[in-house]
Amino acid sequence: MLLRSLQPLAFITCFTLAAITLQGCSKATSNTTADVTGGTVQGTESGKIVSFKGIPYAAPPVADYRWRSPQPVPKWQGVKQADHYAPDCMQKPFAGDAAPLGTTAAEDCLYLNVIRPAKQSDTGYPVVVWFYGGGFVNGGASPEVYSGASFAKQGIVFVSFNYRLG
């Protein structure tokens, strides 16, 4: 039973690690553009960091996909803007819980964020993949307090993502 409940996390981890191609394995046409599994994303640069927010890592879990395991992200044409956080997954926050109140929630929520140093590195950077808490009941990667900018300013790539709850 425990192994079955960990299958979604294993899937998420694989896609998250694939998304780390933004760090150096992708073809970058500029400091804020990168090729990922579904296509090309355009992030933003601010000071010493580059942010890619709201990158889809799986097909939206809606309609026929609602009660299924995550499906591969559909390919897209053109450049997808990755300049804002995607909605957190549907949830009912605990009474008195401070986070993630005030964030938008939606069924279409399987997105990740990559925050990295703006300066390119020949040797790469260490990577932190952050799983938010909440006991699989609530939480999300969109609150700005969890942005990862402080990691990026210290030379660390920060990856956060939403996963289905409940």
Residue 160's CB: how many other CB atoms inside 10 A? 24
pLDDT at 143: 78
Least confident of 61-65, 123-127, 145-149: 145-149
Output the pLDDT for position 102.
Answer: 63
What pLDDT, on a 0 to 100 scale, did the predictor assign at position 92? 72
In percent, the amount of the chain with pLDDT more than 70 equals 76
Backbone angles phi, psi at 41, to 5 degrees: -120, 145
pLDDT digits (tens, 9 = 90+) for 72-129: 999 999 999 999 999 988 877 666 665 555 678 889 999 999 999 999 889 999 999 9
What torsion do the CA atoms of 110, 116, 120, 121 make, to the nearest 10 degrees? -100
Instruction: Please tell me the distance from the alpha carbon of residue 57 to that of residue 82, in angstroms, as a whole number.
Output: 12
Q: Above 70 in pLDDT, residue 144?
A: yes
**Nearest 5°: phi and psi at 60?**
-55, 130
Q: Which two tokens stand for residue 123?
A: 């040797």
- Tokens for 2, please give them: 């425990």
Using 50, 70 and 90 to split pLDDT, how confident is the model at 9? low
Structure tokens at 25: 């394995």
Structural domain boundaries in the chain? 2-161
d(C-alpha 102, C-alpha 115), whole Å = 22
Q: What's residue 14's pLDDT?
A: 47
The answer, yes or no, to whether the previous bond of 100 is cis (omega within 30 of 0) is: yes
Assign residue 132 a region: left if phi > 0, alpha if psi is -120 to 50, beta otherwise? beta
Kindly tell me if the per-residue pLDDT of 32 is higher than 60.
yes
The count of C-alpha atoms lying within 13 angstroms of the C-alpha of 142, restricted to the half-sphere facing its C-beta, is 24
